[in-house]
A and B are shown apart, each in its own frame.
Chain A
């Protein structure tokens, strides 16, 4: 069962800004880095954000991450059709001694 809570879906029209939230607790998001992944249908996840707000090389700056307290969020600005995918947050949990993933959010481009 997921420890991090995300909205099941989000949507927007091309060019719009979409934000996905990730809610956790003091033992995970509150005290450790947050990661965000994009998963296109039938493919392995791809790292979008690490250390809360850092983008790996090659990830467009349309993707941005932030963290405040026990919550984090991923923003996608200038939404494009190829952004239609599932998005997951993740963090290490000190109490569980395990990485925990969010429930996942399906982004639809209308």
Chain B
């Protein structure tokens, strides 16, 4: 059974940093692309970025609002994907979901429960 468990959310001041983790199980982690999606309170879904599989070289893509501030990485030894968030802004306040398709062309097939990040002074 595929499981994704996020952690690391919390309250942070504007300009601060936070690192989210997503522990994955139930599939062959190195072969799978992993994404982060966020949802601001009362708003819609917004893709944050993804990291390709180790077998595909592991490059990343990011949404324009977070490019240069957020970094996605993965630890194959622990089956964890990270979202390092720097220079946080109030508008980054959201529930952050880890998601993967496992299979090709199966974007968003599996989701974690989400972790809340609140950026406030």
Contact = CB atoms under 8 A, between A and B. Distances in A.
A51 B45 contact: no
B74 to A, nearest CB: 18
B105 A51 contact: yes
A105 to B, nearest CB: 10
A40 B90 CA distance: 26
Contacts of B105: 33, 50-51
A63 interface: no
A46 B97 CA distance: 12
A101 B114 contact: no
Given A45-B97, A88-B44, A103-B44, A98 B63 contact: yes
Contacts of B50: 99
A110 interface: no
Interface of A: 2, 33, 35, 37, 39, 44-47, 50-51, 56, 86, 88, 90, 92, 96-104
Interface of B: 35, 37, 44-47, 49-50, 61-64, 97, 99, 101, 105-114
